[in-house]
Amino acid sequence: MLKSKKVTIPIIVLSIIMIVISSMILKNKEQEYQKIVNESIAEIVGKIKEEYPNVKEEEIIKILNESNEGKSEGQKVLQKYGINIKENPAIEAMENQEQEIMIINVVSIGVSVILLLIIVNIYYHSRNKKIQEIIKYIEAINNKNYDLKIAENTEEDLSNFRNELYKIAVMLKEQASQSINDKKALQTSLEDISHQLKTPLTSISIMLDNIRENPNMDEHTRQEFIYEISRQINWINWLVISLLKLSKLDSNTAVFVQKEIKVEDLINNVVKNLAIPIDIKQQNVIVNGSSDVMFVGDYNWQLEALTNIVKNCIEHTAENKNVYINWEENNFYTKIAIKDEGVGIDKKDVKHIFERFYKGKNSSENSVGIGLALAKSIIEKDNGYVICISELGKGTTFKVVLPIIKDSL
């Protein structure tokens, strides 16, 4: 397009110059023609008055004002008095001027038409070339080839259209890439889920076979098998429910009801939910924070998130140890810190701690790697964020930051 502009603009400028020059020449010739006509008329009138003083001026004016239909009659009258128009040099000069003006007009029109045709041809050739390029772009996109490049950027309609087409191609490329990544992530998740379900299902199957094949099994052993089967079924149920919750969060179908939440009430309910594992390990959960501290969020979802985080700390803290929960607020947000006295997390594992199904070096035997991922998704969907700070031998701290509500709300 830039090349065609380089050709078209000089041609347009040249055409304008030709038209201006032609107009100036025509104007000049017209002035010369008018001058000759006036001088010829003056000469004719002067000769008539000089040679024939008896001729009335009215008759002379009448002859001069005769139309083209009376031209021959006028010539006869002038010849009657000794004036031959055809032999008059002035008249010959006027006729020559007329011919010159006619030639100039014809040449100017011809040159203008030729230049116009050249411009139109260049324009349509360039436009057709662009249309063919756009067609190729569309065909490439249909063939899922999104690696299109725009070599130029002009303000013309077709160029703007091509730029928009390029933007669409970039967007489709990103979506295609995201779709591939999503498929890989889904495949990995399905493999992880299959792995997580395989072990308890195999265990359940073996225990059921033992019960069925040993009708004389002692009651104590039978009850142990039944208890373990029940535990495994509950674990599978928890896993399925957690996966369904993650699915809702991923698809943005989870409903979050925003309201004021008292942190103290929320933490108390989290501790109640984990009373049994806390009691089994004889741990102490030490809470500290003002009863007035609040934040904005969905109570049930936040209860789920914080329960998963505290549960993780309990699992990685030894018996007779402490788990600390502190909270505070400022003018912008509420911060909840959950700290354990566990062995800590290896530095290379910390950055993966919130990934689904990720199990670090110090993960417990029954760890699935989904609780923290679910907690992070919930907190972020509820306009907050969570970070993990850990050091081997010194324990782990989770910091949850949530938006605060003001009196104006």
Q: Which of 125-129, 200-204, 312-316 has the lowest mean pLDDT?
A: 125-129
Q: Which of 250, 276, 311 is the last residue of a domain?
A: 250
| pLDDT at residue 193 is higher than 90 | no
Residues 136 and 189 in one domain: no
| pLDDT at residue 137 is higher than 90 | no
| pLDDT at residue 189 is higher than 80 | no
Residues 268 and 242 in one domain: no
List Cβ neighbours of 258 (8 Å cut-off, separation of 6 or more). Answer: 296, 297, 298
> Do residues 239 and 245 touch, judged by C-beta distance below 8 A?
no
User: How many other CB atoms are found less than 10 A from the CB of residue 370?
Assistant: 23
Asked whether residue 408 is assigned to any structural domain, the reply reads no
Residues 267 and 351 in one domain: yes
Q: What is the pLDDT of residue 210?
A: 87
Residues 102 and 226 in one domain: no
271 by Cβ neighbours in 10 Å (0-12 / 13-18 / 19+) ranks as: middle
Asked whether residue 153 is assigned to any structural domain, the reply reads no
Dihedral sign (CA 194, 197, 203, 204): negative
Cα 342 to Cα 310: distance, rounded to the nearest angstrom = 12
Residues 243 and 279 in one domain: no
pLDDT, mean of residues 231-239: 83
pLDDT, mean of residues 127-151: 67
Q: How confident is the model at residue 1 (pLDDT cuts 50, 70, 90)?
A: very low
Q: What does the mean pLDDT of the chain come to?
A: 77
Asked whether residue 289 is assigned to any structural domain, the reply reads yes
267 by Cβ neighbours in 10 Å (0-12 / 13-18 / 19+) ranks as: buried
Among 324, 327, 353, residue whose Cα is nearest residue 340: 324
Asked whether residue 315 is assigned to any structural domain, the reply reads yes
pLDDT, mean of residues 221-227: 89
Residue 232: which CATH number?
Answer: 1.10.287.130
Q: How confident is the model at residue 168 (pLDDT cuts 50, 70, 90)?
A: confident
Asked whether residue 178 is assigned to any structural domain, the reply reads yes
Q: How many angstroms separate the Cα of 144 from the Cα of each of 164, 224, 225?
A: 17, 59, 56
Q: Which of 250, 267, 298 is the last residue of a domain?
A: 250
Q: Which of 267-281, 299-313, 340-354 has the lowest mean pLDDT?
A: 340-354
Residues 183 and 304 in one domain: no
Q: What is the pLDDT of residue 187?
A: 72
Residues 267 and 246 in one domain: no
Q: How confident is the model at residue 392 (pLDDT cuts 50, 70, 90)?
A: confident
Q: What is the pLDDT of residue 384?
A: 93
Helix (H, G, I), strand (E, B) or coil at 294: strand
Q: Which of 108, 142, 176 is the last residue of a domain?
A: 142
Highest mean pLDDT among 47-51, 53-57, 122-126, 267-271: 267-271
Cα 95 to Cα 23: distance, rounded to the nearest angstrom = 20
Asked whether residue 306 is assigned to any structural domain, the reply reads yes
Highest mean pLDDT among 137-146, 235-244, 399-408: 235-244
User: How many other CB atoms are found less than 10 A from the CB of residue 272?
Assistant: 10
Residue 282: which CATH number?
Answer: 3.30.565.10
Residues 268 and 394 in one domain: yes
| pLDDT at residue 249 is higher than 90 | no
Asked whether residue 87 is assigned to any structural domain, the reply reads yes
> Do residues 148 and 169 touch, judged by C-beta distance below 8 A?
yes
| pLDDT at residue 366 is higher than 70 | no
Q: How confident is the model at residue 250 (pLDDT cuts 50, 70, 90)?
A: confident
- How many domains are contained in the chain? 3
Q: How confident is the model at residue 408 (pLDDT cuts 50, 70, 90)?
A: very low
Q: How confident is the model at residue 159 (pLDDT cuts 50, 70, 90)?
A: low
Residues 397 and 351 in one domain: yes
Q: What is the pLDDT of residue 73?
A: 62
Q: What is the pLDDT of residue 389?
A: 93
Residues 80 and 131 in one domain: yes
Quote the domain boundaries for residue 113.
2-142
pLDDT tens, residue by residue, 33-69: 667 667 767 777 777 777 777 766 666 666 666 544 5
Residues 136 and 205 in one domain: no
Residues 200 and 273 in one domain: no
User: How many other CB atoms are found less than 10 A from the CB of residue 164?
Assistant: 10
Asked whether residue 152 is assigned to any structural domain, the reply reads no
385-391 β-sheet, strand order? 284-288, 322-329, 333-340, 395-403, 385-391
| pLDDT at residue 90 is higher than 50 | yes
Reported as type and span, the H/E element at residue 329 is: strand 322-329
